[in-house]
Amino acid sequence: MPYPAGHSEEVERKIVDSARQLFNRHGFDNVSIDQIMAGAGLTRGGFYSYFETKSDLYAEVLGCFFTDPNFQSRWEGVEVDLGSEEVGPQVVQAYLSRQHFENVENSCPMVALPGDVARANKRAKAAFETVFGAMVGVLESGVRGSDGAARECGEAGCGDEARVRAQAIAALCVGGMVVARAMANRAVADDLRDGCMAVALKLGGWTAASKVKKSGKAKSTAAGRG
Q: Does the structure show a pLDDT above 60 at 149? A: no
What is the number of helices (H) and of strands (E) in the chain? 10, 0
Q: Does the structure show a pLDDT above 50 at 155? A: no
Q: What sign results for the dihedral spanned by CA atoms 207, 213, 219, 221?
A: negative
Mean of the per-residue pLDDT values of the chain: 81
What pLDDT is recorded for position 76?
A: 59
Q: What is the pTM of this model?
A: 0.77
What pLDDT is recorded for position 85?
A: 85
Quick one: average pLDDT of 180-208?
94
Start-to-end CA distance of the chain, whole Å, equals: 36
Buried residues in 171-205 as b, exposed as e (16+ CB within 10 A): ebbbebbeebbeeeeeeebeebbeebbeebbebbb
The Cα-based distances of 132 to 47, 65, 84, 128, 173 in angstroms read 28, 11, 20, 6, 11
Phi and psi at residue 179, in whole multiples of 5°? -70, -40
Domains and CATH numbers, the chain: 1-61 (1.10.10.60), 73-226 (1.10.357.10)
C-alpha to C-alpha distance for 99 and 139, rounded to whole angstroms? 20
Lowest mean pLDDT among 26-35, 71-80, 167-176: 71-80
Lowest mean pLDDT among 59-63, 100-104, 133-137, 205-209: 205-209
pLDDT over 90 for what percent of the chain?
38
